[in-house]
């Protein structure tokens, strides 16, 4: 039976680094941006558009002319977003069926539920997330803690809406994961090592 690990994560919690380090320790494939790259190859969509769609919930807004028509109009932005989600889901499934792997984000825990992945959720308190953002991003030095906090909260809110729209589940709800890990004030290297011991 294949070993498939999915990782949901709050922005700034170190979830991606946990995934990379865990993949190295377990000697399995790691998929994150690779999913976007493969989607771009297959669809020739712009990277910026794919990334925008990935973390925003499709809103089924109807045009103003709806009241003047008898039929229900096609919501092209919604159709495009659903199409991207479907194609990403196919790519995620192909990757998971190919070999043991770790997949970060993109509702992979829900998409692969029939394959019984080990579902991780990584989170941290706000101070820790702000500190990690400052460590990782050069542009973070130019903004205040309050501005960084607003950015983090905005990204997490988009992730939650996206996840809820496609899965009808609450993002970050402990009932949807096998292990939830708080990375506050802890080295990611140590966390990855602890998770490895837990799941091996």
Q: For the domain that residue 27 is a member of, what is the CATH number?
A: 3.40.50.300
Is the pLDDT assigned to residue 177 strictly greater than 50?
yes
Please provide the DSSP assignment of 57-106 as one string.
Answer: -------GGGGG-SSPPP-HHHHHHHHHHHHHHHHHHHHHHHSSEEEEST
Q: Are 152 and 126 in contact (CB under 8 A)?
A: yes
* pLDDT value at residue 63: 43
pTM as predicted: 0.85
Separation of first and last alpha carbons in the chain = 14
Please provide the average confidence, as pLDDT, over all residues in the chain: 87
> 51-55, 71-75, 78-82, 112-116 — which is least confidently predicted?
71-75
User: In this model, does residue 73 exceed pLDDT 80?
Assistant: no
Range of the domain at 176: 4-199
* Of the listed ranges 63-67, 178-182, 191-195, the one predicted with least confidence: 63-67
Q: Say how far apart CA 191 and CA 126 lie, in whole Å.
A: 18
How does pLDDT run across 119-153, given as a tens digit for each residue? 999 999 999 999 999 988 756 667 899 999 999 99
**Domain count for the chain:** 1
Cross-strand partners of 28? none
Tokens of 134: 């400052």
Answer for the pair 165, 57: CB distance below 8 angstroms, yes or no.
Answer: yes
The Cα–Cα gap between 200 and 94 comes to 24
Provide the pLDDT for residue 56.
59
């Amino acid at each position: 039976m294949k070993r498939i690990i999915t990782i949901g994560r709050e922005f700034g919690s170190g979830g991606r680094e946990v995934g990379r380090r865990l993949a190295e320790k377990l000697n399995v494939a790691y998929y994150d941006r690779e999913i976007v790259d493969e989607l771009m190859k297959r669809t020739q969509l712009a990277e910026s558009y794919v990334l925008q769609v990935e973390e925003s919930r499709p809103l089924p807004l109807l045009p103003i002319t709806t009241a003047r028509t008898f039929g229900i109009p096609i919501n092209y932005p919604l159709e495009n977003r659903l199409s991207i989600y479907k194609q990403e889901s196919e790519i995620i499934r192909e990757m998971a069926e190919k070999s043991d792997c770790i997949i970060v984000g993109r509702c992979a825990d829900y998409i692969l539920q029939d394959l019984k992945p080990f579902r991780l959720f990584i989170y941290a308190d706000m101070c820790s997330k702000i500190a990690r953002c400052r460590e990782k991003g050069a542009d973070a030095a130019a903004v205040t803690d309050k501005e960084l906090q607003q950015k983090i909260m905005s990204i997490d809110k988009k992730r939650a809406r996206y996840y809820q729209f496609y899965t009808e589940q609450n993002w970050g709800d402990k009932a949807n994961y096998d292990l939830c890990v708080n990375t506050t004030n802890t080295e990611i290297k140590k966390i990855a090592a602890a998770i490895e011991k837990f799941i091996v």
